[in-house]
């Protein structure tokens, strides 16, 4: 008896809106501390974990089901970034004991930031062929990692701190817009919020 093979297609919604919303919230909260509007890291940690990490990780998993390598890699990589940063903050605050807190060397974070800067430059090139809003977000992420890297190595500390602070705030604003566009353009079935056409340089 011949066996029949059926292929089942599982339809998943585009997770970009949720992923960008997670990025928007965590960068907005984190930038408030860098701009000295708020103080301390305690109330940034949960937003880093649940919005910066988990929301983007979920978006990464759904993009993997869409066979979207770019989205999967971007959301996944930055999700793990926020998990790493949140853990670093917890260590610095002594949550895991005075031994770890006393052995903190910010230059180690600096090397991680440099690594993410390299990664983000590649992703910025990819974003050029997605849409202009996403390109602006990645360009600002590049500036954020330049500021964070320089500051961790105590190079031009005042300038690098301000560069990180204001680029992070702008990331939040453009991510809110990108998230809104992802939701409303699909919801209304038309371009309600324009995101700009790809540059068309590499494709």
The predicted pLDDT at position 4 comes to 72
Structure tokens at 189: 């079935």
Structure tokens at 110: 């600096």
Long-range contacts of 25-29 (CB under 8 A, 24+ apart): 25/51, 25/52, 25/172, 26/51, 26/52, 26/82, 27/52, 27/168, 27/169, 27/171, 27/172, 27/175, 28/169, 28/172
Q: pTM score, two decimals? A: 0.93
148 falls in which pLDDT band (50, 70, 90)?
very high
> Which residue is it, tokens 């949960």?
46
**Would you say residue 161 has pLDDT above 70?**
yes
The predicted pLDDT at position 8 comes to 64
pLDDT in tens, 184-202: 999 999 999 999 999 999 8
More confident residue, 5 or 145: 145
At residue 11, the 3 state secondary structure works out as: coil
Domain ranges of the chain: 16-186
- pLDDT average, residue stretch 51-67: 97
Phi-psi region of 131 (alpha: psi -120 to 50; beta: other; left: phi over 0): beta
């Amino acid at each position: 008896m011949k066996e029949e093979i059926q292929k089942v297609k599982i339809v998943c919604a585009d997770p970009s809106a949720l992923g960008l919303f997670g990025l928007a919230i965590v960068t907005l909260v984190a930038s408030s501390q860098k701009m000295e509007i708020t103080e301390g890291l305690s109330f940034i940690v949960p937003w880093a974990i649940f919005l910066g990490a988990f929301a983007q990780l979920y978006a990464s998993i759904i993009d993997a089901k869409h066979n979207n390598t770019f989205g999967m890699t971007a959301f996944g990589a930055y999700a793990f970034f926020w998990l790493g940063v949140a853990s670093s903050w917890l260590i610095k605050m002594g949550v895991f004991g005075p031994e770890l807190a006393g052995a903190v060397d910010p230059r180690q974070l600096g090397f991680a930031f440099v690594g993410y800067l390299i990664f983000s430059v590649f992703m910025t090139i990819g974003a050029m062929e997605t849409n202009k809003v996403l390109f602006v977000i990645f360009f600002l992420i590049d500036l954020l990692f330049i500021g964070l890297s320089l500051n961790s190595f105590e190079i031009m500390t005042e300038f690098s701190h301000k560069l990180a602070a204001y680029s992070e705030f702008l990331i939040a604003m453009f991510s809110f817009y990108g998230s809104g566009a992802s939701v409303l353009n699909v919801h209304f079935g038309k371009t309600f919020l324009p995101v700009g056409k790809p540059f068309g340089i590499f494709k």
